[in-house]
Amino acid sequence: MEPRKTPKPKLTAEAAYENSHLVARDLLDRIADLLQDMPAPGDDDHPIHWGHVGDINPVNALLLQVVTFLDRQPG
């Protein structure tokens, strides 16, 4: 295998952050879509049961971790 002839371009912190920020926003959109697909309260055709509570509680715990991390005071 031949060595690379052109050096890999260096990514700036600004560009890397912008990319990561866009990825985070895409993930938020996906989370919103997935939450929307979960059973909603008040649906007589598909009543909520304790299994649904068991499904949503870990989601809320993980989301709280994200909020806690993002809400920290700058150091």
The per-residue pLDDT for range 10-20, each reduced to its tens digit, is 889 999 999 99
Q: What is the pLDDT of residues 32-60, one digit of tens each?
A: 999 999 888 877 888 899 999 999 999 99
Strands (E), 8-72: none
Cα 64–65–66 angle (5° rounding)? 90
The owner of tokens 């959109």 is 29
Q: Where are the domains of the chain?
A: 50-75
